Structure 1
Amino acid sequence: MPTNKLHIISFDVPYPPDYGGAIDVYYKIKALHNAGAEIYLHCFAYGRQPSLALQSLCKEVWYYPRKTGVAGMSLSLPYIVNSRRSEALLQRLMSINAPILFEGIHSTYYINHPALAGRKKAIRAHNIEGEYYKLLAAKEPNMLKRAYYNIEATFANKYERNVNADIWLPLSMEDEKHFSQLHPKAKHQFIAPFHPYSSVETLLGSGTYCLYHGNLSHPENIEAALFLTNEVFNYIDTPLIIAGRQPDNRIANAIASKAHCKLIANPDEATMQQLITDAHIHILPTFQQSGMKLKLLYALFKGRHIVANKEMLYGTGLHDACHIATDANSFKQQIQALMQQPFAATDIEKRSSLLAQNYNNDKNAAAILTWLQG
């Protein structure tokens, strides 16, 4: 019998939506609520507080402490999974008969539990976690952290092969191919990341600077920021702003000697949105081909020109909305050419048409509910 009830198990408290995973979860909840879903939200908490904003979108919200440190370790399961278990969670899943949406494999500790047999189960795959941790290990200078990442990669690869869901909802087209091969009997549907925008809000005309933004303590973003400061903007005088949370000292040191480069540490949401809107070019390199980068969507909905590499656009279907660069020299060439080119109304029309195909929150929420009620 069709139902609008839905359990969502989140790996973290998704409010405030101030990083990639939380952004996708929060705006998905909001879109599903607007589409009529009765949401029972379960959050694993470790440092973030309960939120009234979530309460207003859900029938019930429960919080469970994550089992960190030794309590979260296992000799067979990934730490990201084993540390997110709670008997209270299982009891609530059993007591309310509704489909279950697991956010990431992180939240799937109980997915194969016999008490939940017969339930519809969906996994929102945020990454191919084994590949993600392998890439983190390759970039980690600390020996102990590198060992942890390698162990987690091994466990995650094994776990992803054995976890069972009725449908996988990856946020990347390439990840959809991966999980389709891994689990050929399940259904698979690419659902793009959820985001704060209902339409393209880009300003026409020109800005005066380039922008790179993100969590500046994350190894992937540190590498990208250092690439820009040391290999691209070291040779051109176009103004560059790097903005984001908890910037690594290496970024601050690299920028210190460059008068045309500026670091904005821990900007509030209003400041970050203004930086995104006013920039003339968003510079988006990455050297980690995994998942979907929310900074790209923010730039597409609010920013002007975008210069990105193929790794940033991997699995997005958004190549036609961006200018492609392959190395430091092509980044420099694209930047110098685009600084002379105002953003036009035709650019907005092209971008809006492309985003409407897969990146519409209401359309994607309806697709999830169609599966639930099918």
Structure 2
Amino acid sequence: MRILLITAAIPYPPASGGALRAYGILRGLVEAGHHVTLMSFGDSSQDTGPLRELCDEIITVAEPTRTKIDRLKDLLLSQQADIARRLFSEEFERRLVTLLQQQPFDIVQFEGIEVACYIPAVQQAKNTKIVFDTFNAEAELQRVIAEVDRANPRRWHVAAYSSIQSQRIRQYEGHLCRMADAVIAVSPEDAAHLKRYTPDKHIYVVPSGIHVDAYQAEYETIDLGSNSIVFTGKMDYRPNVDAMLWFVNQILPLVKDEVHVTVVGQKPHKQLEPLLEKPNIKLTGWVDSVLPYLHSTDVYVAPLRMGSGTRLKILEAMACGCAIVATDLAASGLSEDARSAMVIVNEERAFADAISKLLSDPQYRQQLGDKAQEAVRKHYDWSVLIPRLLNVYEGLGLG
């Protein structure tokens, strides 16, 4: 098949959840014998690594500039969801339409809601199926963010904004799902949320995955200090910022041991700046690879209180054999044996006690790590997941 994959950014290096998923899908489709053209926002001069060899063609368009004034106008003067306009570009749309006129594609697959604004432009193409890969149940994500922010009077204005966006995104997500020939969610939970907006639409589930072998090679270790704890993620992403603030302020003081916390991830938000004053906490910023940190830590934490989708950060930690403590939300969407390979707790005291128990019991850490590696290979290696994606295509009469 000839497949056009549309992404919000060049998925290389695959350093974020969205990039990891898009890269895994792209590589898996090519390895399965299909031809993939990639169209993304980005700079034509940027390093695309192995994508250049994997793709038939890579097309990049400069990301549109959208100011806070533009966003405020949309909030006050329109009923559109902010995310519907975030990456809209007349130049991107023009080049997409031209490409479809020049080349036939069996499938145009949209990776995430940010680029799904171009679905109408593809509907005119003959004999082309539209696949909407949702990444997140975005309306539900915004609803949870609003709920968390309402608990803090200083963030009521943010909660109000998120609540408005949740309502608008719900309508938008439903509209996008109805236009697509196939809709993919990354977890049964996300599929259930999307099904509420489009009850007549079948929602396929294809979890996000990783190439497990890449995480189990030999890596140099890093001295993270005694009783080390690691968290990974894009650190200007709201759910990750909230997770670390909650962890450091509410959970960490309850941990019995003296610990060393390393927060690994690009673009730390200014809200995290007070953490830099704490001697036992380090924010790395951008790193070439999270793997040395995952292979070196005693405990990996995922104290997420908001978010949706499959948490690729957890899959990476599992593949590296980490002992994981996570909230139920962080582990949602995972298989039962994957969930049984970590400690799942929601209360602050219970979270702290779970960390202390793991730090005091190396054998227990090893047992959890071994179970995690087995579960992630069984359920979340791309060799297992790409056939599920191809089954979606077969359901459209392709393949």
Report deviation, 1:325: 1.5
Match of 1:19 among 16, 24, 34: 16
* CA spacing shift, 1:63–1:312, aligned 2, 3 Å: same
Match of 1:364 among 357, 371, 385: 385
Match of 2:187 among 172, 180, 192: 172
Contact map agreement 1:217 1:245 (CA 8 A) in 2 = yes
Report deviation, 1:214: 1.8
Contact map agreement 1:165 1:186 (CA 8 A) in 2 = no
Contact map agreement 2:299 2:359 (CA 8 A) in 1 = yes
* CA spacing shift, 1:320–1:338, aligned 2, 3 Å: same
* CA spacing shift, 1:24–1:66, aligned 2, 3 Å: same
- Partner residue in 2 for 1:280: 298
Report deviation, 1:150: 4.6
Give TM-score scaled by structure 2 length: 0.81
Contact map agreement 1:276 1:299 (CA 8 A) in 2 = yes
Match of 1:84 among 81, 88, 91: 88
Distance 1:172 1:45 in 2: 29
Alignment of 1:207-218 (within 5 A): 208-218=227-237
User: Is it true that 1:339 corresponds to 2:363 in the alignment?
Assistant: no
User: Is it true that 1:102 corresponds to 2:110 in the alignment?
Assistant: yes
- Structure 1, 94-103 or 178-187: larger mean CA deviation: 178-187
Contact map agreement 2:264 2:286 (CA 8 A) in 1 = yes
Distance 2:318 2:386 in 1: 20
Specify the SS of the correspondent of 1:100.
Answer: strand
User: Is it true that 1:132 corresponds to 2:141 in the alignment?
Assistant: yes
* CA spacing shift, 1:241–1:192, aligned 2, 3 Å: same
Matched letter for residue 27 of structure 2: K
User: CA-to-partner distance for each residue in 1:82-115, whole Å, 9 max, x for gaps?
Assistant: 3334111122134332211111122222324541
- Structure 1, 82-91 or 293-302: larger mean CA deviation: 82-91
* CA spacing shift, 1:67–1:276, aligned 2, 3 Å: same
- Structure 1, 88-97 or 5-14: larger mean CA deviation: 88-97
Alignment of 1:68-79 (within 5 A): 68-69=65-66, 75-79=78-82
- Partner residue in 2 for 1:121: 130
Distance 1:47 1:136 in 2: 35
* CA spacing shift, 1:291–1:77, aligned 2, 3 Å: same
Distance 1:128 1:160 in 2: 8
- Partner residue in 1 for 2:35: 38
Distance 1:275 1:226 in 2: 20
Alignment of 1:125-164 (within 5 A): 125-137=134-146, 139=149, 149-163=162-176, 164=179
- Partner residue in 1 for 2:46: 49
Structure with more of its chain in helix, by fraction: 2
User: CA-to-partner distance for each residue in 1:320-369, whole Å, 9 max, x for gaps?
Assistant: 12101121111121111111222576545533442244312022122223
Distance 1:121 1:208 in 2: 49
Contact map agreement 2:265 2:287 (CA 8 A) in 1 = no
Contact map agreement 1:168 1:179 (CA 8 A) in 2 = no
* CA spacing shift, 1:348–1:212, aligned 2, 3 Å: closer
Q: CA RMSD in A?
A: 3.1
Distance 2:350 2:44 in 1: 41
Report deviation, 1:78: 3.2
User: Is it true that 1:324 corresponds to 2:344 in the alignment?
Assistant: yes
Gap runs ≥5 in structure 2: 219-225
Contact map agreement 2:263 2:283 (CA 8 A) in 1 = yes
Instruction: Name the count of aligned residue pairs.
Output: 366
Report deviation, 1:255: 5.2
Specify the SS of the correspondent of 2:96.
Answer: helix
- Partner residue in 2 for 1:253: 274
* CA spacing shift, 1:263–1:252, aligned 2, 3 Å: farther
Contact map agreement 1:15 1:22 (CA 8 A) in 2 = yes
Distance 1:279 1:47 in 2: 37
Gap runs ≥5 in structure 1: none
Q: Identity of counterpart residues, as a percentage? A: 21
Contact map agreement 2:315 2:376 (CA 8 A) in 1 = no
* CA spacing shift, 1:145–1:11, aligned 2, 3 Å: farther
Match of 1:222 among 237, 241, 263: 241
Q: Which has the higher contact order (CA 8 A, sep 6+)?
A: 1
Distance 2:49 2:79 in 1: 37
- Structure 1, 17-26 or 246-255: larger mean CA deviation: 246-255
Report deviation, 1:212: 1.7
Give TM-score scaled by structure 1 length: 0.86
User: CA-to-partner distance for each residue in 1:255-311, whole Å, 9 max, x for gaps?
Assistant: 524x4x2213214224x3211111111011111042222211111111421000101
Contact map agreement 2:262 2:284 (CA 8 A) in 1 = no
Contact map agreement 2:321 2:372 (CA 8 A) in 1 = no
- Partner residue in 2 for 1:192: 207
- Partner residue in 2 for 1:311: 329
Match of 1:93 among 95, 100, 117: 100
Distance 2:372 2:353 in 1: 22
Distance 1:172 1:304 in 2: 22
Report deviation, 1:215: 2.2
User: Is it true that 1:243 corresponds to 2:264 in the alignment?
Assistant: yes
Matched letter for residue 388 of structure 2: A
- Partner residue in 1 for 2:56: 59
